[in-house]
């Protein structure tokens, strides 16, 4: 899979890549790095006009609902090849709908968006078929190492490649303010791209049968800086204290910043929320679904720690289902709250009302300050 990981680095740097497929090879340019220069180079190299591959979430906003995960907008008129226009189509907040014809995405188009997600970029890309007259040029770029070629089928499986063979890399005793006897164990995904940490509180030999467990998704702003926009930092510290009080257990600190969309996109989403959108609608503007997290890695970490039965600290029903589907027995669920404040009320309310988080108990008792 080395080529796939290299491709992820290239697209994060804003470079185009070549996806090879039986149907047809395509050149892929991430939307985030499209400017008039990259556009011109893409067309000149491919010898064909590109199309814009978007997620179904974004297409729904453009008034083009589709069943598949991705589809392609044909950019048939040369005037549509304008970097600003393409950016507006892909992640602009004003979405007037589109007159560009929607065509189904090829396997390589779909693989291109899977790579964008794995690279934590906006899930949108320009893709151009390589015209027969341009093949020699493209192959010479690949040969000279100026363009990276990857098999679409492998790119498509880049998320799967992250699960399964987690590497247990290192560990150390780290006494915490709320739990003196704690051990941090670092796991690295097999493709080397992300690392997750298991914090083992207490001694496994002393744990009750069902291990108290918290799955915590990283939130740099909340966990580290105490952002008031969310409740993550308090939940994190409360979870450590609760697990300690329960006699020990495990906290998995998962590299799933921003519900899996990454910090760059979470900051974009916060700016959109400042314009009045709620947390889920803001993510949809950027082309993401309600929750982009996958929990296979958490299941793999539990397997490595030989934890099979858990008492889960969460308000999120998806986490419960994901563990059960991963073969973990969830004997009990315990609520875990942070403090509700004027700044995080809208966020938590949206999670409860629109994503089914079990937060009624806190929301019901909260009186919003009046603004007179
Ligand atoms: N995209 C996005 N992510 C956010 C926003 N606010 C917080 N997050 C992220 O949401 C995630 C919250 O993680 P958790 O607290 O583990 O999960 P949860 O879904 O709230 O579920 P429980 O806390 O277990 O009930 C973190 O990855 C945060 O970075 C937001 O406005 N937009
Ligand atoms: Zn947070």
Q: In the structure encoding, which two tokens stand for residue 145, read together?
A: 């190492």
Sign of the alpha-carbon dihedral angle for 278, 228, 117, 86: positive
DSSP state of 222: I
Q: In the structure encoding, which two tokens stand for residue 279, read together?
A: 């947390």
Are the C-beta atoms of 51 and 73 separated by less than 8 Å? yes
Q: Is position 158 annotated in a ligand binding site? A: no
Q: 371: pLDDT confidence band, cut at 50, 70 and 90?
A: low
Question: For 195-225, what is each residue's pLDDT tens digit?
Answer: 999 999 998 877 768 999 999 999 999 999 9
Q: What is the pLDDT of residue 211?
A: 96
Closest C-alpha to 45, from 156, 151, 139: 139
Q: Is position 214 annotated in a ligand binding site? A: yes
Task: Residue count of the chain, please give it.
Answer: 372
| Structure ipTM | 0.98
Are the C-beta atoms of 318 and 310 separated by less than 8 Å? no
All structural domains of the chain, each given as residue ranges with its CATH number in brackets, are: 1-157 (3.90.870.10), 167-256+293-364 (3.40.50.10990)
Residue 1 reports pLDDT greater than 60: no
Q: What is the pLDDT of residue 44?
A: 95
Ligand 1 contact via 70 beta carbon (within 6 Å): no
Q: Is 21 noted as a catalytic residue in this protein?
A: no
Residue 369 reports pLDDT greater than 70: no
CA of 61 to the centre of ligand 1 (A): 23
Strand partners, 30: 125
* Distance between CA atoms of residues 291 and 164, nearest Å: 22
Looking at residues 7-36, what average pLDDT do you find?
A: 95
* Closest C-alpha to ligand 1, atom 4: 258
Question: For 331-351, what is each residue's pLDDT tens digit?
Answer: 999 998 888 888 888 887 888
Strand partners, 72: 53, 103
Are the C-beta atoms of 128 and 26 separated by less than 8 Å? yes
Looking at residues 62-81, what average pLDDT do you find?
A: 90
Share of the chain above pLDDT 70, in %: 97
CA of 280 to the centre of ligand 2 (A): 14
The strand pair at 167-173 and 148-151 is best described as unpaired
Q: What is the pLDDT of residue 338?
A: 83
Ligand 1 contact via 249 beta carbon (within 6 Å): no
Q: Considering the chain, what is the average pLDDT of its residues?
A: 92
Ligand 1 contact via 7 beta carbon (within 6 Å): no
The strand pair at 17-20 and 26-30 is best described as antiparallel
* Cα-based distances in Å from 112 to 14, 124, 126, 190, 292: 14, 8, 9, 21, 17
Q: Is position 183 annotated in a ligand binding site? A: no
Q: Is 291 noted as a catalytic residue in this protein?
A: yes
Environment of ion ligand 2 (residues, CB < 5 A): 219, 222, 230, 232
Kindly identify the ligand whose nearest atom is closest to the C-alpha of 337: 1
Q: 367: pLDDT confidence band, cut at 50, 70 and 90?
A: confident
Q: In the structure encoding, which two tokens stand for residue 289, read together?
A: 């679904």
Kindly identify the ligand whose nearest atom is closest to the C-alpha of 281: 1
Residue 372 reports pLDDT greater than 70: no
Angle ∠(123,231,365) on CA atoms, nearest 5: 125
Task: Scan for tokens 């804003």, then name that residue.
Answer: 14
CA dihedral 253, 258, 261, 265 (to 10 degrees): -140
Q: What is the pLDDT of residue 363?
A: 76
* Distance between CA atoms of residues 318 and 154, nearest Å: 28
Where does 198-278 have alpha helices with state H?
Answer: 232-245, 263-274
Q: Is the pTM of this model over 0.80?
A: yes
Strand ranges inside the chain, DSSP E:
17-20, 26-30, 51-55, 70-74, 102-104, 124-129, 148-151, 167-173, 182-188, 195-201, 211-217, 249-254, 309-313, 329-334
């Amino acid at each position: 899979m080395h080529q796939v990981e290299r491709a992820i680095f290239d697209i994060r740097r804003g470079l185009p890549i070549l996806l090879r497929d039986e149907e047809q090879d395509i050149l892929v340019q991430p939307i985030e790095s499209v400017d008039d220069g990259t556009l011109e180079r893409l067309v000149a190299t491919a010898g064909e006009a590109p199309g814009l591959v978007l997620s179904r979430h974004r297409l729904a906003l453009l008034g083009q609902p589709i069943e598949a995960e991705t589809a392609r907008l044909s950019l048939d008129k040369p005037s549509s090849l304008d970097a600003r226009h393409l950016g507006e189509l892909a992640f602009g907040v004003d979405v007037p709908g589109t007159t560009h014809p929607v065509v189904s995405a090829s396997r390589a188009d779909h693989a291109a968006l899977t790579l964008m997600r794995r690279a934590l970029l906006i899930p949108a890309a320009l893709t151009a078929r390589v015209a027969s007259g341009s093949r020699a040029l493209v192959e010479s770029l690949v040969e000279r190492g100026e363009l990276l070629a990857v098999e679409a089928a492998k790119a498509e499986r880049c998320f799967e490649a992250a699960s399964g063979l987690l590497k247990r890399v290192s560990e150390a005793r780290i006494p915490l303010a709320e739990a003196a006897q704690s051990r941090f164990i670092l796991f690295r995904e097999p493709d080397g791209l992300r690392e997750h940490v298991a914090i083992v509180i207490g001694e496994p030999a002393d744990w009750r049968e069902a291990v108290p467990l918290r799955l915590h998704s990283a939130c740099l702003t909340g966990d580290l800086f105490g952002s008031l926009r969310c409740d993550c930092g308090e939940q994190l510290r409360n979870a450590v204290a609760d697990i300690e009080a329960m006699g020990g257990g495990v906290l998995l600190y998962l590299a799933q910043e921003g519900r899996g969309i990454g910090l760059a996109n979470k900051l974009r989403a916060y700016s959109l929320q400042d314009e009045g959108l709620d947390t889920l609608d803001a993510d949809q503007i950027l082309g993401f679904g309600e929750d982009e997290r996958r929990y296979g890695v958490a299941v793999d970490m539990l397997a490595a720690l030989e934890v099979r039965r858990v008492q889960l600290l969460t308000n999120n029903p998806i986490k419960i289902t994901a563990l059960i589907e991963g073969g973990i027995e969830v004997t009990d669920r315990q609520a875990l709250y942070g403090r509700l404040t004027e700044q995080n009320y809208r966020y938590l309310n949206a999670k409860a009302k629109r994503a089914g988080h079990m937060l009624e108990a806190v929301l019901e008792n909260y009186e919003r300050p009046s603004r007179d």
